[in-house]
């Protein structure tokens, strides 16, 4: 039962093989434009892969519009961002023999340096001159290589092989009518308000209908998948949280999985499967399933190219997303980029609402001003319904906010380690808790208990040993379901609550009352902790 629930959101070898055999491949604008960063020889190999896919290549009308609108400017952009800096840095490399010439001139008069012979100095000058000439020759060769690449890129304006092969190998979608676009915009406003993917990350960066460009693409994909009754593989290099999750364990940008909301929406709308890759991942799997013979070196270089672009985007974003405040005591202004903050969110509360549980997460950052004032900033995020970023807030004590950003968290963390495998050093490297979901529970707590309202608990399963874990609804810490061996483990849940699996259902119970010594009272007194 659990596997059936989880399987649409995960990929294994059988599913991967099935998708590559039958799915329709849809390319995003970002992936099409990044073809211009690939050497022509590699592109020619990819075109052969396109031919292997026959009629399984398709482009939404919105993608075609965006591609045609940007394909000419992307050529200058690649030259400006990738090759022009190399030329500049190359020209900074200066080597000459001026210093040795100066020494020779200062020592050539016998009256000044009667015991100094210049034979060795002349030899040194000769060697330096020869070395400088070699360096100059190499620099000129590098410049010629750059010019060759630039010419190849600019030749695409006159003979665009990418555009020609897109026309040759891809089928195209029919653009939505103006009234259909307006309906999508109306829906988009609601989706973006509640952070429902895709596209909500564009709301501050674009204008007009283009704010909803990603949503328009998604609506075209839904419509086409329902018509064809075939699963979809979506290729994009725009790796954003409103489309997918990044692979946190990879050193280069990789897509770990699409957002669950997208998988669920297309499954309910079209009864088909959905998965995502970026362009380097697509090339890698093309070698695997179509014997495309794309050089591994070219794939690595494309990963590097994508990594550079991702870093630039991160930097530009962080330069905008700042926390800025002044000290209420001395008036000094403090400023921090978002990426400088830890933002270690913890679950602090849950409330039952109309369509499920609302979870509150909180992170605190502490700053010390030079005047001695302590400043505390609290970042709060509310999840409602499950898996949806509903609301966020930043509050400050000891200071006044000038500029802030929207705090966000990954509601499906893939870095939580299994408590059971952690004890086995041989298996700990592969012991991540995965398959996170919310399960209904039978709540056996007394009516007066504040957690009696909890009807669901977040549960995950170790991808190695299969042990189920849960997030304590009281403290938000991790615990084991099956054994509770780590109920008192340091740094984990120490509450007097227990989740068990009995008779096919999850049951939340309360252990016996905990007694603790209270140092604030007399030494003979204790207080009972009622949670």
Q: Which of 372, 403, 434 is the last residue of a domain?
A: 403
Q: What are phi and psi of 425, to 5 degrees?
A: -60, -30
When mean pLDDT is compared across 203-212, 416-425, 479-488, the lowest value belongs to 479-488
pLDDT for residue 90 is more than 70: no
The answer to whether 449 and 468 are in contact (CB under 8 A) is no
Residue 431 shares a structural domain with residue 508? yes
Could you tell me if residue 379 is inside a domain?
yes
Residue 425: strand, helix, or coil: coil
The answer to whether 294 and 287 are in contact (CB under 8 A) is yes
Q: What is the residue-wise DSSP string for 491-508?
A: TS--SSEEEEEETTEEEE
Residue 253 shares a structural domain with residue 184? yes
User: Which secondary-structure segment (H or E) carries 443?
Assistant: strand 433-443
- 140: number of Cβ within 10 Å: 11
Residue 311 shares a structural domain with residue 207? yes
Whole domain around residue 511: which residue ranges?
Answer: 421-516
Could you tell me if residue 39 is inside a domain?
yes
Could you tell me if residue 153 is inside a domain?
no
Residue 300 shares a structural domain with residue 364? no
**221 pLDDT band (50/70/90 cuts)?**
very high
| Residue 434 in tokens | 């995965």
Could you tell me if residue 138 is inside a domain?
no
Pairing of the two strands 505-510 and 433-443: parallel
- 294: number of Cβ within 10 Å: 22
Long-range contacts of the stretch 240-243 (C-beta < 8 A, 24+) = 240/201, 241/197, 241/201, 241/408, 241/410, 242/195, 242/197, 242/198, 242/199, 242/200, 242/201, 242/202, 242/214, 243/197, 243/198, 243/214, 243/276
- Give the contacts of 165 (CB within 8 A, at least 6 positions apart): 43, 47, 50
**483 pLDDT band (50/70/90 cuts)?**
low
The answer to whether 506 and 440 are in contact (CB under 8 A) is yes
At how many degrees (to 10) do helices 213-228 and 260-270 cross?
40
Tell me the mean pLDDT in the region 40-56.
84
DSSP state of 80: I
Residue 258 shares a structural domain with residue 278? yes
Could you tell me if residue 116 is inside a domain?
no
Question: What average pLDDT does the structure give for the chain?
Answer: 77
Could you tell me if residue 45 is inside a domain?
yes
Report the pLDDT value the prediction gives residue 480, as an integer from 0 to 100: 83
Residue 198 shares a structural domain with residue 302? yes
- Give the contacts of 365 (CB within 8 A, at least 6 positions apart): 323, 341, 342, 343, 376, 377, 379
Residue 367 shares a structural domain with residue 228? no
**Distance of alpha carbon 337 from alpha carbon 322, whole angstroms:** 5
| Residue 271 in tokens | 């009864």
Residue 296 shares a structural domain with residue 376? no
310: phi > 0 → left, psi -120 to 50 → alpha, else beta; which?
alpha
Could you tell me if residue 474 is inside a domain?
yes
Residue 290 shares a structural domain with residue 238? yes
* Count of domains observed in the chain: 3
- 406: number of Cβ within 10 Å: 14
pLDDT for residue 258 is more than 60: yes
pLDDT for residue 210 is more than 50: yes
Report the pLDDT value the prediction gives residue 479, as an integer from 0 to 100: 83
**107 pLDDT band (50/70/90 cuts)?**
low
Residue 173 shares a structural domain with residue 309? yes
Report the pLDDT value the prediction gives residue 490, as an integer from 0 to 100: 44
Report the pLDDT value the prediction gives residue 262, as an integer from 0 to 100: 93
- Give the contacts of 305 (CB within 8 A, at least 6 positions apart): 34, 37, 82
Residue 445 shares a structural domain with residue 375? no
Closest CA to 66 of 38, 25, 30, 36: 30
Report the pLDDT value the prediction gives residue 306, as an integer from 0 to 100: 63
**Distance of alpha carbon 275 from alpha carbon 16, whole angstroms:** 9
Q: Which of 403, 437, 458 is the last residue of a domain?
A: 403
Q: What is the residue-wise DSSP string for 4-39?
A: HHHGGG---HHHHHHHHHHPEEEE-HHHHHHGGGS-
Q: What are phi and psi of 97, to 5 degrees?
A: -110, 25
The answer to whether 350 and 358 are in contact (CB under 8 A) is yes
Pairing of the two strands 456-462 and 346-353: unpaired
Q: What is the pTM of this model?
A: 0.52
Residue 191 shares a structural domain with residue 292? yes
Q: Which of 343, 374, 403 is the last residue of a domain?
A: 403
At how many degrees (to 10) do helices 213-228 and 61-78 cross?
130
Could you tell me if residue 351 is inside a domain?
yes
User: Which secondary-structure segment (H or E) carries 191?
Assistant: helix 178-193
Tell me the mean pLDDT in the region 508-512.
76
pLDDT for residue 364 is more than 50: yes
The answer to whether 220 and 272 are in contact (CB under 8 A) is no
User: Could you report the per-residue pLDDT of 166-180, keeping only the tens digit for each?
Assistant: 999 999 999 999 899
DSSP state of 417: B
Tell me the mean pLDDT in the region 201-215.
80
Tell me the mean pLDDT in the region 285-297.
79
User: What's the length of the chain?
Assistant: 531
- 389: number of Cβ within 10 Å: 20
| Residue 418 in tokens | 């299994």
pLDDT for residue 519 is more than 70: no
**Distance of alpha carbon 194 from alpha carbon 447, whole angstroms:** 33
- Give the contacts of 484 (CB within 8 A, at least 6 positions apart): 498, 500
């Amino acid at each position: 039962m659990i596997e059936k629930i989880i399987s649409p959101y995960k990929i294994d070898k059988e599913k991967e093989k099935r998708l590559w055999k039958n799915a329709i491949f849809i390319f995003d604008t970002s992936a099409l434009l990044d073809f211009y960063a690939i050497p022509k020889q590699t592109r020619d190999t990819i075109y052969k892969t396109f031919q292997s896919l026959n009629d399984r290549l398709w482009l939404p009308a919105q993608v075609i519009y965006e591609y045609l609108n940007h394909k000419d400017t992307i050529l200058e952009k690649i030259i400006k961002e990738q090759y022009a800096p190399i030329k500049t840095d190359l020209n900074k490399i200066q080597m000459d023999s001026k210093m040795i010439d100066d020494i020779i001139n200062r020592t050539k008069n016998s009256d000044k340096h009667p015991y100094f012979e210049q034979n060795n100095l002349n030899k040194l000058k000769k060697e330096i001159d020869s070395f400088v000439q070699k360096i100059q020759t190499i620099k000129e060769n590098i410049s010629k290589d750059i010019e060759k690449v630039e010419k190849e890129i600019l030749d695409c304006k006159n003979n665009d092989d990418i555009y020609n092969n897109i026309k040759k190998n891809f089928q195209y979608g029919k653009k939505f009518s103006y009234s259909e676009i307006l309906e999508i915009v109306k829906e988009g406003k609601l989706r973006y308000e509640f952070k429902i993917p895709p596209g909500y990350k564009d709301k501050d960066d674009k204008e007009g209908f283009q704010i909803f460009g990603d949503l328009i693409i998604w609506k075209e994909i839904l419509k086409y998948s329902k018509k064809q009754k075939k699963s979809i593989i979506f290729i994009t290099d725009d790796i954003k949280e409103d489309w997918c999750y990044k692979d946190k364990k990879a050193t280069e940008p990789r897509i770990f999985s699409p957002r669950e909301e997208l998988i669920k929406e297309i499954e309910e709308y079209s009864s088909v499967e959905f998965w995502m890759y970026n362009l380097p991942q697509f090339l890698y799997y093309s070698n695997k399933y179509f014997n495309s013979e794309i050089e591994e070196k070219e794939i690595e270089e494309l990963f590097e190219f994508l990594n550079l672009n991702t870093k630039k985007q991160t930097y530009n974003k962080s330069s905008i997303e700042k926390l800025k405040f002044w000290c209420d005591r001395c008036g000094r202004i403090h400023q921090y980029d978002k990426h400088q903050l830890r933002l270690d969110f913890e679950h602090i509360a849950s409330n039952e609402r109309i369509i499920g549980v609302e979870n509150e997460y909180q992170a605190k950052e502490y700053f010390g001003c030079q005047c001695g004032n302590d400043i505390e900033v609290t970042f709060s995020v509310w999840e409602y319904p499950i898996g949806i970023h509903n609301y966020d807030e930043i509050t400050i004590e000891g200071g006044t906010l000038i500029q802030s950003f929207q705090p966000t968290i990954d509601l499906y963390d893939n870095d939580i380690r299994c408590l059971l495998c952690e004890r086995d050093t041989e298996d700990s490297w592969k012991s991540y808790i995965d398959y996170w979901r919310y399960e209904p529970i039978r709540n056996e707590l007394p009516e007066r208990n504040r957690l009696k309202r909890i009807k669901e608990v977040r549960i995950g399963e170790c991808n190695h040993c299969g042990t189920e874990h849960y997030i304590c609804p009281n403290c938000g810490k991790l615990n084991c379901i099956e054994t509770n061996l780590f109920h008192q483990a340091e740094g984990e849940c120490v509450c007097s609550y227990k989740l068990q699996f009995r008779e096919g259902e999850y049951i939340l119970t309360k252990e016996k009352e905990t007694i603790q010594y209270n140092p604030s009272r007399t030494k003979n007194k204790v207080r009972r902790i009622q949670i």
